[in-house]
Amino acid sequence: MHAFANPARFLRLARWLMPLLLVSGLVLSMGALLYGLLVVPPDRLMGETVRILFIHVPSAWLGMAGWSTIAIASLVELVWRHPLAAIAARAAAVPGAAFTAICLATGSIWARPTWGTWWVWDGRLTSFLILLFLYFGYIALSGAAQRDMASGGGGNRITAIFGLVGAINIPIINRSVVWWNSLHQPPSITAGKSAIDGTFLWPLLIAAVGFSLIFGGVVLARMRTLLAEIQTEARLRRKALG
């Protein structure tokens, strides 16, 4: 793991990996979304609105994967003091929040014709809305911690602890439809079997892979930006002192 503790080595890797992830992710997700929009047959009950599945479900996965990234990076930061972990955690927050927001918006649009309501306060919807608010809190906290760096504050550690504590929401989101009666349907895809017909399942899985690659590319891009910002600040400070 400490092979990448050196930011220079990480930056060399990120320089070619980032465009690769972004381009392959865009190609895969555009292909899957177009196929889902134009080729896939309408659902037996939902009709055409089933097509929103190909955006909604991958976004939901990435909203949760985003916070899992934050939690794992926070753990690495707190225990091993890995210099890139704090940056990785901070870089995952904005794309994670964006996918969470997309998931909530598309779900709401789908719910209106399907359930007959834009929003209900059931376990799944409420816990996912809390995830969005956790992201907002994390982004605000990490921003404050970064501004606090000059005065040598422990803000990064507080941010990391918040990232770890917030992870408790992830299993709650995952289990919410199993533990509690909810309007949201139970999971369609569980280990080894799927209640989604093959014609819907394949474009869904490809879209999920494509979205994940885009997510990875955006995280790498943001890590490069954050590293450059830190470097600039350090240089300016040296200049001011020198």
Partner 1 sequence: MSETKTGGIKPKHQRLVLLVIALVALIGAGLLAAYALSNQASYFYVPADLVKDPPEQGRAIRLGGMVEKGSLKTRTDGVTIDFVVGDGMSKVPVRFTGITPDLFVEGSGVVAEGRMEGQTFVADNLLAKHDENYVPRQMGDMTQAQAKAVVAETK
CA 30 to chain centre: 19
If one asks whether residue 191 binds partner 1 (CB under 8 A), the answer comes out as: no
If one asks whether residue 153 binds partner 1 (CB under 8 A), the answer comes out as: no
State the DSSP H helix or E strand holding residue 152, giving kind and residue range, or none if neither: none
Q: Which of 61, 122, 129, 174 binds partner 1 (CB under 8 A)?
A: 122
CA dihedral 29, 34, 37, 42 (to 10 degrees): -90
CA 154 to chain centre: 25
If one asks whether residue 148 binds partner 1 (CB under 8 A), the answer comes out as: no
Q: Which of 1, 191, 198, 239 binds partner 1 (CB under 8 A)?
A: 198
> Is the Cβ of residue 19 or residue 154 nearer to partner 1 in the bound state?
154
> Is the Cβ of residue 54 or residue 215 nearer to partner 1 in the bound state?
54
> Is the Cβ of residue 24 or residue 114 nearer to partner 1 in the bound state?
114
* One-letter identity of residue 68: S
From the list 14-22, 91-99, 183-191, 231-239, the region that binds partner 1 by CB under 8 A is: 183-191
Residue 104 Cα distances to 33, 82, 155, 240, angstroms: 18, 34, 30, 46
- Tell me the C-alpha distance between 101 and 216, whole Å: 18
Six-digit token pair at 69?
């990234």
- Tell me the C-alpha distance between 73 and 82, whole Å: 9
> Is the Cβ of residue 123 or residue 217 nearer to partner 1 in the bound state?
123
Q: Which of 8, 38, 44, 238 binds partner 1 (CB under 8 A)?
A: 44
From the list 92-100, 113-121, 136-144, 209-217, the region that binds partner 1 by CB under 8 A is: 113-121
Quote the DSSP letter at residue 119: -
Phi, psi at 190, each rounded to 5° = -120, 165
* Binding positions for partner 1, 70-109, rule CB under 8 A: 75, 78-81
Least separation in angstroms between residue 117's CB and partner 1 is 6
If one asks whether residue 133 binds partner 1 (CB under 8 A), the answer comes out as: no
- Tell me the C-alpha distance between 129 and 199, whole Å: 30
- Tell me the C-alpha distance between 32 and 58, whole Å: 11
Q: Which of 196, 205, 221, 230 binds partner 1 (CB under 8 A)?
A: 196
Which residues contribute to the site for partner 1 (CB under 8 A)?
40-47, 50, 53, 75, 78-81, 113-117, 120-123, 164-165, 168, 171-172, 175, 179-183, 185-188, 194-201
